[in-house]
Chains A and B, each alone.
Chain A
């Protein structure tokens, strides 16, 4: 596997504020990227994805930005809610049926 983190950075935000979570990916061959949300003791949940022919994609309250030049992804969550508290991972897809996860960021939403 690739991109295994040894610690989990934490982002603390106030309820109602916007959150920005960043991710650096490692493989320049990756052409598809996904953001996942993982709550404690559960499997990851799909949030939003983006292909490499785009640099921005919007969903409901979420936006993903892709910068292929510097191999960087970000996830923006608008009007962050307590239910958004979780660990967020980006994943890259460098080849067919290969998904490698980034190191993750813990989002802590303060009420």
Chain B
């Protein structure tokens, strides 16, 4: 089945640091990827939709200058949390669509998330 890989799975860094999270579709090409944030014991919140070769579409209330998204290839999207602060600590999850593959009936395939802790 379609596999989505996130890296790193866990990161701890100091306040003010910028952190980059990678999302890769390993066995399919994804023109569209999604980024979600999940706080403990809460639901997934859609942050933005990442489109290959064009600008990401951000949800209302999500700062695009704070959360930079780049989708430069059909298999890689990156989320950079710029000048991260403790309130940015969360579980960040990406997903990707596989519209032409064997699993095309599934709306999206999720990575296993990145746990970000800002000290």
Contacts and interface: CB of A to CB of B under 8 A. Distances in A.
Interface of A: 1, 3-8, 32, 34, 41-46, 49, 89, 93, 97-104
Interface string B45-74: 111010000000101010000000000000
7 contacts: A1-B46, A4-B43, A5-B42, A42-B112, A93-B107, A101-B46, A103-B42
B107 A41 contact: no
B102 interface: no
A44 B112 contact: no
Contacts, number: 64
Contacts of A46: 106-107, 109
Interface of A is mostly: loop
B42 A4 contact: yes
A3 B43 contact: yes
